[in-house]
C-alpha cells in the first residue's frame, strides 16, 4: 500500500514539472462543460441548463479523440419548453506551448459530430438529425491533472422536422480531468525503482 501511495505521489509531482504531460499520447481526458445556466427569480420563472459530459483518449501528443453527450433544457412558466440532446464523437487539438503570461494555459480547438436535436413544445420548431459544432477554447491547468476551461462554439442541428436547420453560438465553462496513460505510469514506476 505504501509503495502504491509513493508511486501516485511521484506521478503527481512528475506532472508538475512537465506542463505538457497531461496532453501526451495515451492519456485520458474525462469531464464536461456547462452552459446556459440561469434561474429566473421573477414572475416568469425561467430555468435553463445545458450539460455536456465528454471523454477522450490522446491518440498522439496534443490530439484527442473521444465522445460527448449533450443534454439541455429551457423552460419558463406559461411558455414552451425547449429540449436539446446530442451524442457523437469529438476531436481536440491543443496548440503551441504554455503561454508566457499564463504559465499553465493552453489554447485548443474542438469539433464534434453526431446525432441530435432541438425540440420546442407547443408548436415550436423541431429539428432532429445531424448535430455538429466547432470552435476555439482555452484550458487553464489549476493542478497538473485538472483543467478549467472556456469554449466558444458554433452549434448546428440539421435534418428532419418543421425547422430544417437550427444553430446557436454558445459560450460554455467546464473542467477536465487528465488521467495518466500506461506509458506515463510505466515511466513513473521505472523512475521509482
CATH at 69: 2.40.160.20
| pLDDT band, very low/low/confident/very high, at 183 (cuts 50, 70, 90) | low
pLDDT in tens, 124-182: 889 999 999 999 999 999 988 999 999 999 999 999 988 889 998 989 999 999 998 77
Cβ atoms of 106 and 142 within 8 Å: the answer is no
The C-alpha cell at 1 is 500500500
Q: How far is CA 65 from CA 37, 91, 112, 180, in A?
A: 27, 5, 10, 16
Give the C-alpha separation, 186 to 193, whole Å. 11
pTM for this structure? 0.78
Residue 5: its H or E element: helix 2-16
Please state the length of the chain: 193
3-state class (DSSP) for residue 161: coil
Q: How many domains does the chain have?
A: 1
The domain in which residue 25 lies consists of 2-192
From 8-17, 69-78, 170-179, the region with the lowest mean pLDDT: 8-17
pLDDT in tens, 25-52: 889 999 999 987 777 777 778 889 999 9
* Rounded mean pLDDT, 61-77: 93
Q: What is the predicted pLDDT for the residue at 21?
A: 67
Amino acid at each position: 500500500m505504501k509503495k502504491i501511495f509513493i508511486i501516485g505521489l511521484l506521478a503527481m509531482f512528475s506532472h508538475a514539472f512537465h506542463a505538457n504531460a497531461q496532453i501526451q499520447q495515451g492519456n485520458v481526458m474525462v469531464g464536461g462543460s456547462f452552459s446556459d445556466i440561469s434561474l429566473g427569480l421573477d414572475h416568469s420563472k425561467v430555468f435553463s441548463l445545458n450539460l455536456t459530459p465528454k471523454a477522450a483518449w490522446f491518440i498522439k501528443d496534443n490530439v484527442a479523440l473521444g465522445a460527448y453527450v449533450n443534454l439541455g433544457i429551457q423552460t419558463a412558466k406559461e411558455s414552451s419548453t425547449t429540449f436539446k440532446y446530442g451524442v457523437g464523437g469529438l476531436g481536440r487539438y491543443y496548440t503551441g506551448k504554455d503561454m508566457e503570461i499564463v504559465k499553465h494555459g493552453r489554447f485548443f480547438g474542438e469539433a464534434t459530430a453526431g446525432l441530435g436535436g432541438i425540440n420546442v413544445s407547443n408548436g415550436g420548431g423541431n429539428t432532429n438529425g445531424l448535430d455538429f459544432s466547432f470552435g476555439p477554447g482555452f484550458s487553464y491547468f489549476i493542478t497538473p491533472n485538472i483543467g478549467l476551461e472556456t469554449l466558444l462554439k458554433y452549434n448546428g442541428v440539421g435534418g428532419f422536422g418543421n425547422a430544417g436547420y437550427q444553430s446557436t453560438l454558445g459560450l460554455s465553462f467546464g473542467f477536465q480531468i487528465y488521467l495518466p496513460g500506461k506509458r506515463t505510469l510505466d515511466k513513473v514506476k521505472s523512475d521509482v525503482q
